[in-house]
Structure 1
Amino acid sequence: MTTFRLATLNVHSFADHLAYRDNMNRLINILKPYNFDLIAVQETLNDDNWSKFCNLLGLNHFIYGPCEEHIFGNGIASRYPIKTYSNQRTSYSYLGGRRSLLECCLDSNHPFVKDRIFAVTHLDHLNEHDRLKQIKEFDPWNKNIDIFMGDMNSLTQDDYSNNYFEKNIFELRKKSDWEKPYFDVTQLITNQWLYKDAFKQINPNLKDKQLATCRYGTRIDYIYLHPRIYDSWILKDCSIIDTQNATDHNAVFAIFEQKQNL
């Protein structure tokens, strides 16, 4: 119990995004070797695929957080029992659909989970202004959520070189008639609420495609950490797991380790 391993992944409703067929076995083969203690997922349904996914990963305690639009449901699966949980939906629906925040506490003698709150969300995919309203309504900072994960559908400015940003993000979005790239959500989370971006904390110099978590070559999936004073646990590693096109996102994987001098 000196480590705790967790991840977040958009599972694309357990359908291969290229072949439109079941991606369950492919995802299990990719993810199982990482031996997760907890995984938070987006775009799942409360169905047999969700329960099978959890059980095959050895995460036999799992919860589901529905949205008005079922494809945007969130889930958390854990190696340890879930003590309490709640699901908050946005107060009204947006053009991109209603969204939700699923949070929980675990019931275990594992020292990492003591009094920690885990949460997952999937923010709007169309409009940064709507994403801002959603995350402000969820208000993870004032809820003292310790580990805040999910598909934020928002960019981080210093992830990209100027040339990559202009060619692969700005021009692509303009050509496709998508929204312009904004950074409001991630700046709110890190600059105002002072969450730590786990991946950037471990990989401060990675840029461009090296940190892509979605098929458009950008990073929109995150694990955020609420700093604790005198925490006996440190973030040991954070990396991106290549899902090999089994879904349209890569997973973000973090390892926490107990300090040895305590």
Structure 2
Amino acid sequence: MRYVFAESWAPQYGNAVLSRWPIKRWKAHRVADQSDFRNVLRVTIEVPDAGEVNFHCTHLDHLDEGWRMKQVDAIMRSGGDGPHILAGGLNALDGTDYSADRWADIVKYYEEIGKPTPKVEVMQYLKAKQYVDAKDFAGECEAVVVVAKGQDVQGTCKYGTRVDYIMASPNCPYKFVPGSYTVVSSKGTSDHHVVRVDVAVPHAREPDDAEATANGQRSRVVKMTKKSSRKGIWGAK
């Protein structure tokens, strides 16, 4: 297993990307400015039969939505325009995950524990930029990860809300596999759960019936998931 690690505010804290395939390039950037200890780790992985795949891993501020907006805007301005998968603890809420009653409960709970009033600007910003949310490709829920009443998605943290995301940038060639998104319990090893999804990388556009008949060819798709072949990829022609 290959990995890269970008230290944050202390040597044992930061962002990491692990890969079964070669890591060709990586770079860490401070997200907002030099006073901000948080970073975004940009990694390019060479996937067999698929080419380069770009992952951006980050962990945004856990309290202030205004500061999170500065951080995510800085990530976009510092090189977030190329095709990539953005993943990590964004610590942001998506208002579409919750009913009005559930949202009111979240607001009340935040007040009780002394957290700032929850807001949704970060997710609205990313969706306005046409990022694709892996949650929209959900499969069956793991029973141990409870879905709170009034929300249509598994929570990813101890508060029962979804704050960890995997998203594909606009016009990204990497496609989430329908039914593959799920949240897996961290079984007490963290106050966040594991979010996972399978990703497919089309090699070429799908030919129409006439082209397929004339050329006798099919487009090739590589599916990046450990459940597939021995090498961790699945290819079909």
State the TM-score bracket (shorter-chain normalisation): 0.7 to 0.9
1:82 corresponds to which residue? 23
Alignment TM-score, normalising by the size of structure 2:
0.73
Counterpart mapping for 1:226-245 below 5 A: 226-228=169-171, 231=173, 233-236=175-178, 237-245=180-188
Q: Equivalent pairs: percent with the same residue?
A: 25
Partner of 1:130 in structure 2? 67
Task: Evaluate the alpha carbon distance shift between residue 173 and residue 108 of structure 1 in structure 2; reply closer, same or farther with a 3 A threshold.
Answer: closer
SS at match of 2:52: coil
Runs of 4+, deviation exceeding 3 Å: 68-72, 140-143, 231-234, 257-261
* Structure 1: runs of 5+ lacking an equivalent: 1-59
Q: Which has the higher contact order (CA 8 A, sep 6+)?
A: 1
SS at match of 1:116: strand
Q: Distance in 2 between matches of 1:244 and 1:232?
A: 30
Q: Report the 3-state secondary structure (helix = DSSP H, G, I; strand = E; otherwise coil) of the residue aligned with 2:9.
A: coil
Q: How far has the Cα of 1:258 moved from its partner?
A: 5.8
What secondary structure does 2:93 align onto? coil
Measured after TM superposition, the shift of residue 159 of structure 1 is 0.6
Give 1:110 shift: 3.4
Alignment equivalent of 1:105, drawn from 40, 44, 50: 44
Shift of 1:106: 1.2
Q: Secondary structure at the match of 2:103?
A: helix
Asked if structure 2 preserves the Cα contact closer than 8 Å seen for 1:198 and 1:254, the reply is: yes
Larger mean Cα displacement after TM superposition, 80-89 or 140-149: 140-149
Structure number with larger C-alpha Rg: 2
User: What value does the CA root-mean-square deviation take over the aligned residues?
Assistant: 2.4
Paired amino acid for 2:151: D
Judge which range, 71-80 or 140-149, deviates more: 140-149
**Which residue is 2:212 aligned to?**
none
Distance 1:164 1:148, change over 3 A: same
Counterpart residue identity of residue 103, structure 1: R
Structure 2 distance, partners of 1:72, 1:184, is 26
- Alignment correspondent of 1:254: 197
Question: Secondary structure of 1:88's match?
Answer: strand
Instruction: Assess, with a 3 A threshold, how the Cα gap between structure 1 residues 200 and 72 changes in structure 2: closer, same or farther.
Output: farther
State the 1:109 CA deviation: 2.3
Cα displacement (A) at 1:75: 0.3
Closer/same/farther in 2, CA of residues 128 and 71 from structure 1, 3 Å limit: farther
Q: Measure, in 2, the Cα distance between the counterparts of 1:107 and 1:118.
A: 11
C-alpha contact (below 8 Å) 2:7/2:13 kept by paired residues: yes
Per the alignment, residue 73 of structure 1 pairs with 14
Change (3 A) 1:108 1:123: same
Q: Tell me how far 1:79 sits from its aligned partner.
A: 0.2
Q: What number of residue pairs does the alignment pair up?
A: 193
Closer/same/farther in 2, CA of residues 233 and 249 from structure 1, 3 Å limit: closer
Give the helix-richer structure, 1 or 2: 1
- In the TM superposition, 1:110-125 aligns within 5 A as 110-111=49-50, 114-125=51-62
Distance in 1 (CA, whole Å) between partners of 2:161 and 2:104 is: 13
- Determine if contact 2:137/2:176 at 8 Å carries over to the other structure: no
Cα deviation for residue 202 of structure 1 reads: 3.4
Q: Could you tell me whether the CA contact under 8 Å between 2:174 and 2:199 is conserved in 1?
A: no
Deviation by residue 1:20-62 (Cα, 9 ceiling, x = unmatched) = xxxxxxxxxxxxxxxxxxxxxxxxxxxxxxxxxxxxxxxx110
Residue equivalent to 1:15: none
Q: Indicate the residue corresponding to 1:200 in structure 2.
A: 136
TM-score (norm 1): 0.67
Paired position in structure 2 for 1:180: 117
SS of the residue 1:149 aligns to: strand
Q: Is the 8 A contact 1:240 1:252 kept in 2?
A: yes
Aligned equivalents of 2:174, 2:130: Cα separation in 1:
19
Per-residue CA distance 1:190-228 (angstroms, 9 max, x = gap): 11x21101113437xx86274100000100000001243
Whichever residue aligns with residue 35 of structure 2, its letter is S
- Counterpart AA for 1:198: A
Corresponding position of 2:3: 62
CA distance in 2, matches of 1:121, 1:240: 18
- Superposed displacement of residue 146, structure 1: 1.2
